[in-house]
Amino acid sequence: MDWTANDWIIVCFFVIGALLHGITGFGYPIVGTAVIAGFYPLKTAVAMVVLPCLVINIMMLRTGEGFKHNILTYGRSFFPLFASSFVGGLIGIGLLLFLPESGLKIFLCLTLLFYVFTQYSRFRIRFKKDNITMAVFGFFAGIVGGATNAIVAFLMIYLLGTDRNKTEMVMANNISILITKLIQIVMLFPVIAAFGQKDWLLLSAVIVISLGFMYVGNHIRHRLPQRIFNHAVAAMLLALGLYAGYQGYQGMAA
């Protein structure tokens, strides 16, 4: 495979995304999608991120007590969130296939910026931990995730707003992403099947390299105090929101 400058840019940002994903429990699909969308249509970018992200999420869920324990324990605790995000994910992928991507990115930008603002103001948002609130947020997070690959960015509004600890956040995020990826594999299969040999070689390299940096980030996360972890998440959401807004503006101006 003849690597171009764009290929190296994609790999480098996937490495950054894997490191951030290991530290905060999210970031890999959002960063990967944002970068690839600079070189491909959003639909193709979302499809290209599916397989590397699926591998990363499975490996993340194997940490701690192990894959089976994490799926059963956090699956029970957050079942309304996961069930409603599955339904929302189906709708979100439908929106991805029909709505203009610039509008979706502007929506994501406004949502993230509003949330970060509330976390550092006296109007800080707090939510109940009841099943209804969990299901509502899961549904809208599924829509956002299916359409933009940014499900966790929306989920963090709920998880931080209910003062969940970092382990709960990481496991809930990764199970939610796993559900979204499985839906996307089925619904975007025609797009994935159309990938060429170069695309598959690039994705294979991305998966192998990303796994190493994910483990480094995971090691860092275990040493971070909860307060620093929350600030790191807020910084991630702010950066992603600004970047999504920039991409949406560029799309509307084109």
Q: Which residues contact 125 (CB under 8 A, 6 or more apart)?
A: 115, 118, 119, 157, 161
**CA atoms of 36 and 11, how far apart (whole Å):** 10
Give the mean pLDDT of 74-93: 88
Give the mean pLDDT of 47-51: 84
Model pLDDT, residue 230: 73
Q: Which residues contact 154 (CB under 8 A, 6 or more apart)?
A: 111, 137, 140, 141, 144, 145
Model pLDDT, residue 12: 83
Look at residues 209, 235, 241 and name the one whose alpha carbon lies nearest to residue 19: 209
Instruction: Give the phi and the psi of residue 162 in degrees, each rounded to 5.
Output: -110, 15
Model pLDDT, residue 119: 67
Give how many domains the chain has, as a whole number: 1
Residue 1: pLDDT band with limits 50, 70, 90: low
Model pLDDT, residue 10: 81
Q: 3-class SS at 6?
A: helix
Give the mean pLDDT of 169-195: 84
Of residues 213 and 177, more confidently modeled: 213
Residue 73: pLDDT band with limits 50, 70, 90: very high
Q: Kindly report the length of the chain.
A: 254
Q: 3-class SS at 188?
A: coil
Q: Residue 122 above 90 pLDDT?
A: no
What does the angle CA 31 – CA 194 – CA 12 come to, to the nearest 5 degrees? 25
Q: Residue 240 above 80 pLDDT?
A: no
Give the mean pLDDT of 135-150: 80
Q: Residue 160 above 70 pLDDT?
A: yes
Model pLDDT, residue 154: 74
Residue 68: domain span: 5-253
Of all residues in the chain, the percent with pLDDT exceeding 90 is 6
Give the mean pLDDT of 14-19: 83
Q: Are 222 and 24 in contact (CB under 8 A)?
A: no
